[in-house]
C-alpha cells in the first residue's frame, strides 16, 4: 500500500458522510469503554501500591494519597494506626470528585486482590488492542493522511481527535473546544465570581452577555482551563471558602461567604451550595488527548514536540493543554479541507497562526489537489511556517 489514494477520487469518499458517522459512534464507544475501564484499573492498582492512607468522603469516594506523599507527611505504626499526620495531608480536606469534606482512613488490601487487578489489567490491554484494530480498519482520511504520519500520536490520541470532531459536527472551532473541555472559563480574582459561559478575553459587551470584566465588581476576569479538580476543590481553595452561590438559570457562581441573592449576569435567584460544580463538558476526549500529549507527543514526538517545548518555555503549567488544543484545531481544519474542500483559517492573530504539521514529507501523504491549495494559502502568507 505504497501509493496513497486520493480521497476525492476514491469511491469511499462518496459515502464518507454516513459511513464516518456510524464508525465514529463505534469508535467513540470503544474509546469511552477503554478510558473508563483504564481509569478504574489505575485506581485499583494505586490502592494496591499506596495503601497506607485514603481520604474518604460521605459519598464513599476514595482519594488515594500518593506513596511518597504519605511517607513524607504521615506516620503509620505497625498495626496500621495513623500516629501522626502532618499539616499538608490534613490541608487536603475536600474530595477531588464531589468536593465534600474527607476523613483519613488506613487501608490494608487483602492478598487475593492483587491477582484480580492483574487480570483486569489484561482486559484493559485487550480493549486497547480492539481500539487500534478498529482505528486501522476505519481508514479515516484524517488518520490516513495526517495523524498516522505525526510522531508521538498514539491510537488513543488519534481516536480522541477523530471521534470528537465527527460527533460534535462542529461548525466552529470554539464549539469543538467547548464540547471537549478545551474552552476557557472566566474567574474574578477579586470577588470570587466564576462564569462557565459568557467569558471573552478580548470583548466586553454586557448587553450581549459577553464579559471581559467582572459584572459584579468590575475587575478584569482571568481565563482558566476547566478541569475536574478545579471544579471539585480548586475554587474552594482559591477563595478559601466552604460554600458558594449558584445561579438557578445560567452557569454563573460566586465563591464567597457573603450572601449573594441575584445573579450578576442574568438577574435570576442565587442558591447556596457546598458540593462540587457539575462538569459542563465530556471529559473523556480531553483526558484521552491530554494523556496522549503527556505520554507520547511530549516525549517521542517530532514537530509537535518542538511546539510543546516552545510552549513549555513560555509557561510549563499549560504547555500540554495548548499543544492538545493546537492538534484539535489542526484536525478540525484538515477535516474541513478533506470533507468540504475548504480551508478555515482563524482571522484574528493571523501572525501567530501555526499550520498543520507532518513528520514525514507532506508530498507523500497529502493528495496533490490538497497540497496545491495549501501552497496557494502559503503564498497569501496565511500559512506561516514555525
Binding positions for Zn ion, rule: CB under 5 A: 57, 59, 61, 95, 97-98, 188, 190-191, 193, 214, 216-217, 219, 247, 249-250, 252, 263, 265-266, 268
Quote the least distance from Cβ 268 to Zn ion, whole Å: 5
Q: Among all chains, which residue has been given the C-alpha cell 504519605?
A: 70
Q: How many Å apart are CA 153 and CA 150, to the nearest integer? A: 6
Quote the least distance from Cβ 254 to Zn ion, whole Å: 8
Quote the least distance from Cβ 98 to Zn ion, whole Å: 3
Q: Among all chains, which residue has been given the C-alpha cell 449576569?
A: 265
Q: What 3-state DSSP class applies to 288?
A: helix
Quote the least distance from Cβ 166 to Zn ion, whole Å: 33
CA separation, residue 240 to residues 10, 19, 224 (Å): 60, 51, 18
**Sequence-ordered strand ranges (E) for 188-283:** 193-195, 222-224, 244-247, 252-254, 270-273
Quote the least distance from Cβ 204 to Zn ion, whole Å: 13
**Between 188 and 297, CB nearer to Zn ion:** 188
Q: Among all chains, which residue has been given the C-alpha cell 459584572?
A: 215
**Between 215 and 356, CB nearer to Zn ion:** 215
Contact of 163 with 23, CB cutoff 8 Å: no
**Between 269 and 306, CB nearer to Zn ion:** 269
- In the numeric block, which cell numbers belong to residue 144? 490516513
**Between 176 and 195, CB nearer to Zn ion:** 195
**Between 170 and 230, CB nearer to Zn ion:** 230
CA separation, residue 83 to residues 50, 67, 78, 87, 104 (Å): 17, 16, 10, 13, 12
| Helix (H), strand (E) counts: the chain | 16, 11
Quote the least distance from Cβ 188 to Zn ion, whole Å: 3
Q: Are strands 103-105 and 222-224 parallel, antiparallel or unpaired?
A: unpaired
- Listed in sequence order, the residues at least 6 apart from 74 whose beta carbon sits closer than 8 Å to its beta carbon are 52, 53, 65, 82, 84, 85, 86, 89, 104
Helix axes 113-138, 155-168, angle to 10 degrees: 60
Quote the least distance from Cβ 385 to Zn ion, whole Å: 42
Quote the least distance from Cβ 231 to Zn ion, whole Å: 12
Q: Which helix (H) or strand (E) holds 95?
A: none
Contact of 199 with 186, CB cutoff 8 Å: yes
**Between 122 and 208, CB nearer to Zn ion:** 208
**Between 85 and 98, CB nearer to Zn ion:** 98
**Between 61 and 151, CB nearer to Zn ion:** 61
**Between 217 and 300, CB nearer to Zn ion:** 217
Quote the least distance from Cβ 88 to Zn ion, whole Å: 20
Contacts 24+ apart (CB under 8 A), 76-80: 76/52, 76/106, 80/106, 80/108
Amino acid at each position: 500500500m505504497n501509493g496513497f489514494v486520493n480521497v476525492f477520487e476514491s469511491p469511499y469518499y462518496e459515502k464518507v458522510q454516513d459511513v464516518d458517522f456510524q464508525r465514529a459512534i463505534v469508535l467513540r464507544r470503544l474509546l469511552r469503554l477503554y478510558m473508563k475501564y483504564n481509569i478504574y484499573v489505575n485506581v485499583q492498582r494505586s490502592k494496591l501500591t499506596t495503601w497506607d492512607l485514603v481520604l474518604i468522603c460521605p459519598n464513599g469516594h476514595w482519594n488515594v494519597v500518593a506513596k511518597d506523599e504519605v511517607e513524607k507527611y504521615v506516620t503509620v505504626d505497625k498495626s496500621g494506626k495513623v500516629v501522626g499526620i502532618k499539616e499538608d495531608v490534613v490541608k487536603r480536606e475536600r474530595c477531588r470528585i464531589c468536593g465534600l469534606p474527607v476523613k483519613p482512613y488506613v487501608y490494608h488490601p487483602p492478598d487475593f486482590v492483587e491477582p484480580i487487578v492483574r487480570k483486569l489489567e489484561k482486559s484493559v490491554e485487550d480493549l486497547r488492542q480492539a481500539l487500534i484494530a478498529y482505528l486501522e480498519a476505519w481508514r479515516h482520511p484524517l488518520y490516513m493522511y495526517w495523524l498516522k504520519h505525526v510522531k508521538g500520536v498514539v491510537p488513543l490520541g488519534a481516536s480522541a481527535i477523530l471521534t470528537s470532531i465527527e460527533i460534535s459536527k462542529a461548525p466552529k472551532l470554539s464549539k469543538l473546544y467547548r464540547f471537549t473541555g478545551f474552552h476557557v472559563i472566566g474567574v474574578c480574582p477579586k470577588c470570587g465570581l466564576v462564569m462557565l459561559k459568557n467569558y471573552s478575553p478580548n470583548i466586553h459587551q454586557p448587553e450581549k452577555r459577553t464579559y471581559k470584566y467582572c459584572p459584579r465588581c468590575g475587575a478584569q476576569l482571568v481565563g482558566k482551563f476547566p478541569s475536574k479538580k478545579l471544579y471539585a476543590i480548586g475554587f474552594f481553595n482559591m477563595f478559601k471558602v466552604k460554600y458558594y452561590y449558584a445561579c438557578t438559570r445560567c452557569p454563573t457562581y460566586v465563591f464567597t461567604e457573603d450572601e449573594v441573592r441575584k445573579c450578576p449576569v442574568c438577574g435570576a435567584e442565587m442558591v447556596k451550595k457546598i458540593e462540587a460544580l457539575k462538569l459542563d463538558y465530556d471529559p473523556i476526549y480531553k483526558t484521552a488527548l491530554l494523556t496522549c500529549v503527556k505520554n507520547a507527543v511530549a516525549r517521542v514526538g517530532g514537530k509537535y514536540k518542538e511546539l510543546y517545548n516552545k510552549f513549555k518555555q513560555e509557561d510549563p503549567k499549560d504547555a500540554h493543554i495548548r499543544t492538545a488544543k493546537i492538534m484539535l484545531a489542526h484536525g478540525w481544519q484538515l477535516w474541513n479541507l478533506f470533507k468540504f474542500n475548504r480551508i478555515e483559517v482563524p482571522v484574528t492573530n493571523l501572525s501567530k497562526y501555526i499550520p498543520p504539521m507532518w513528520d514525514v514529507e507532506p508530498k507523500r501523504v497529502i493528495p496533490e489537489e490538497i497540497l496545491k491549495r495549501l501552497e496557494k494559502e502559503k503564498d497569501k502568507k496565511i500559512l506561516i511556517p514555525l
